[in-house]
Structure 1
């Protein structure tokens, strides 16, 4: 709402007929809980409330009709907060307008003349240091209505508090707006309000003002609907991110068993047959060999897979763990060598994937993998290939074919640009 015209007035707990009467006074208007689901203080200049416990949002002026409980309207030098509440009763018969001539006439006709018979509730913790009384009762001057500057600021945010029997609500709103044009001119610009307002405006002016108010209300409703959609989508995003963090994004963050599980899931989604081998080797060979065996759809092609996550760069010595003993044991067990071997690495796993260095950047260091018909696979490439398939940007058949036929370093085509941005070489 940063471009909505001022003053922006939000109404709360107000009957429809009274809203229709007061809405023309604001350039932008809304109703809390009707077309504005949540009060965002930065969106509004004035909050007009008929709630018993009205909000007093930071940096928003408040006009309260019937509010009886206010929290922390100011703090004195000893840290004591000013939190007036209608807790005390006064049996005094007289009710008197305050001394300020700007308000006296309206207080007389809208509060003094309409006040119920005693007893009347008055505010406890009413301190003149924090307030300008508008109406008091009895010789004790029990406060029934007041103006206060919140948080003790001399030129800060106003709260005007009027009792629930106040009449002439439109005149109070007009009076407060007039005062705010002097007190807070950046948000309440001066204008000949009597000529364009609902009281003295000509018929065509009143009609245009009503149309403008309707447009403002419609605009506020549209913005409220968008805010609600944004809130729902933000929650959806948060849930999706949490699910991804425990799922496919483990390819980019995890090591150990969690990384192995993520690789197994991704290769399975690409259409490979995938078998975790730890239990098999514990029972058959008694040795820790490859982490996974991967087969193609017809089972005629088999690949041995070693998976490693690193907080820093990938280690060259780990290549021998897949091209050495695992290949020898497999050949003895199957009666033939494996068709391929993969070393899948998640290097610099705690860093933003976009800033990571290329794993084992010197291609000559991959010679043992090339000799075994194998490949080094960065989990960033595997993640993007998997994502392309899930989002129908690539065919699983094409990804599998690319993986089966690559010797040396496997780079998924959609990541070539991102890979080029990685720093060529590893830090130590």
Structure 2
């Protein structure tokens, strides 16, 4: 026959640990709410906690500093305090024989303030997002504390403590403002929820959230906590109606969520397809050299409405002697285009001389000067476009001579932006062609992008 248990009640039981001068005040405030979650609630001072057989209890709610010892089986919610209710000897991964255990403690530290905060995925998955935002986020401009481990004596030791924290809220520097962690590395050891002092205004809400978490985690003591109040036999008509409305709306939201998720997945796939298309087409203006760059410059000029001819296909170039890369026309207007790409180097004055030879050949065959000569360059393309220098930034005299011969230097960054604006309808192809035909020197597009002008 099993032993008879005397004085027992069904779990869960809770200890509420308070500063000596606050026990009476907080008991009157908190007992009604906490008794909805625990079958026994014991209010004690920090010093009086040691008078209880803590192993009989399942949770401890600590406001302020914890007592020197809390049984490791307890699940602890601690609000504020200077140090946390973690027995360093119980930190997972440490041997009790390791002298390092006594050197570390988890503390609240003052730090600089931030304006941006992030609710962690763990909090979101645990249904804590709304509660965390409402009770953990510091007020604008108010200094706040953050959690970290501190070496309290001895020399530094290897201690994998930082990975033990599961944050609820972090600031923009990654500092942890609230978190939970295991109080030990055995199945019977409880958790510690580290919450800032201001969150004590929502003690019952945090207790309810923690119990839901512990129940979901399979902790037997919390398996039946509040369960009878959810039994339809003991719910009111208003509760039933609210539950029905909630479930109906939840079902509708789930359908909508599935539809929106499918829509977003389609949009994401379209965006990735557009990115791949850009990498294989327009973005080559910023990343390519050689035949690929010539091909993409030709395509961009074609989209602007120019007639584009691969100069290598012209009869006068059939002897294999390379002249210009492209010849473009706009009705009776004709331009010779030389195209270069440099991974590390910049535009070269020697390229302008090569283009000058192409002009000489053109005059020999056509008995007239071309209307313009363009030097298109994708320079230093191993650098991000925004970091690249301007073409011929230190060769103003050479550019002026080139401009005097109806020459225009076109950075492929400018051509990319011009092509994009035409495709977007910001600029008409006619206006784009007119601008290019009239420009001399170094093309400035947009017009205010650099000092100087077209």
Query: Which residue does the alignment assign to 2:432?
Result: 399
| Correspondence 1:304 to 2:336 | yes
**Cα distance in 2, alignment partners of residues 206 and 251 from structure 1:** 64
Residues 178 and 324 of structure 1, relative CA distance in 2, 3 Å threshold: closer
Q: Out of 378, 386, 392, which is 1:354 matched to? A: 386
Residues 179 and 155 of structure 1, relative CA distance in 2, 3 Å threshold: farther
Q: Out of 228, 234, 242, which is 1:208 matched to? A: 242
Cα displacement (A) at 1:322:
4.2
Query: Which residue does the alignment assign to 1:219?
Result: 253
2:347–2:379 Cα contact (<8 Å) kept: no
1:322–1:343 Cα contact (<8 Å) kept: no
TM-score (norm 1): 0.53
Cα displacement (A) at 1:219:
2.5
Gaps of 5+ in 2: 1-120, 128-184, 190-210
Cα displacement (A) at 1:191:
7.7
Higher RCO, 1 vs 2 (CA within 8 Å, ≥6 residues apart): 1
**Structure 1 counterpart SS, 2:314:** helix
Cα displacement (A) at 1:213:
2.0
| Correspondence 1:274 to 2:284 | no
The correspondence of residues 169-248 of structure 1 with structure 2, limited to 5 A, is 180-181=214-215, 183=217, 192-248=226-282
**Cα distance in 2, alignment partners of residues 242 and 224 from structure 1:** 27
| Correspondence 1:380 to 2:410 | no
**Structure 2 counterpart SS, 1:336:** coil
Q: How many residues align?
A: 251
Cα displacement (A) at 1:232:
1.2
The correspondence of residues 94-113 of structure 1 with structure 2, limited to 5 A, is none
Please, what is the CA RMSD of the aligned residues? 3.3
TM-score (norm 2): 0.50
**Cα distance in 2, alignment partners of residues 218 and 295 from structure 1:** 60
**Cα distance in 2, alignment partners of residues 310 and 301 from structure 1:** 29
**Cα distance in 2, alignment partners of residues 199 and 313 from structure 1:** 81
**Cα distance in 1, alignment partners of residues 398 and 309 from structure 2:** 28
The correspondence of residues 17-416 of structure 1 with structure 2, limited to 5 A, is 44=125, 154=187, 180-181=214-215, 183=217, 192-280=226-314, 283-296=317-330, 298=331, 300-362=332-394, 363-413=396-446, 416=448
Residues 194 and 357 of structure 1, relative CA distance in 2, 3 Å threshold: farther
**Cα distance in 2, alignment partners of residues 179 and 316 from structure 1:** 67
**Cα distance in 2, alignment partners of residues 269 and 179 from structure 1:** 60
**Cα distance in 2, alignment partners of residues 331 and 381 from structure 1:** 29
**Structure 1 counterpart SS, 2:281:** coil
Cα displacement (A) at 1:230:
1.5
1:259–1:307 Cα contact (<8 Å) kept: yes
**Cα distance in 2, alignment partners of residues 215 and 155 from structure 1:** 39
Cα displacement (A) at 1:181:
3.4
Cα displacement (A) at 1:155:
7.5
**Structure 2 counterpart SS, 1:295:** strand
Query: Which residue does the alignment assign to 2:165?
Result: none
**Cα distance in 2, alignment partners of residues 155 and 412 from structure 1:** 69
Cα displacement (A) at 1:182:
8.0
1:343–1:376 Cα contact (<8 Å) kept: yes
Query: C-alpha offsets along residues 109-166 of structure 1, whole Å, 9 cap, x if unaligned?
Result: xxxxxxxxxxxxxxxxxxxxxxxxxxxxxxxxxxxxxxxxxxx98389xxxxxxxxxx
Query: Which residue does the alignment assign to 1:114?
Result: none
Residues 285 and 335 of structure 1, relative CA distance in 2, 3 Å threshold: farther
2:418–2:432 Cα contact (<8 Å) kept: yes
Cα displacement (A) at 1:406:
0.7
2:328–2:336 Cα contact (<8 Å) kept: yes
Query: Which residue does the alignment assign to 2:84?
Result: none
Query: C-alpha offsets along residues 72-123 of structure 1, whole Å, 9 cap, x if unaligned?
Result: xxxxxxxxxxxxxxxxxxxxxxxxxxxxxxxxxxxxxxxxxxxxxxxxxxxx
TM superposition outliers: structure 1 runs of 4+ over 6 Å: 40-43, 188-191
**Cα distance in 2, alignment partners of residues 283 and 338 from structure 1:** 16
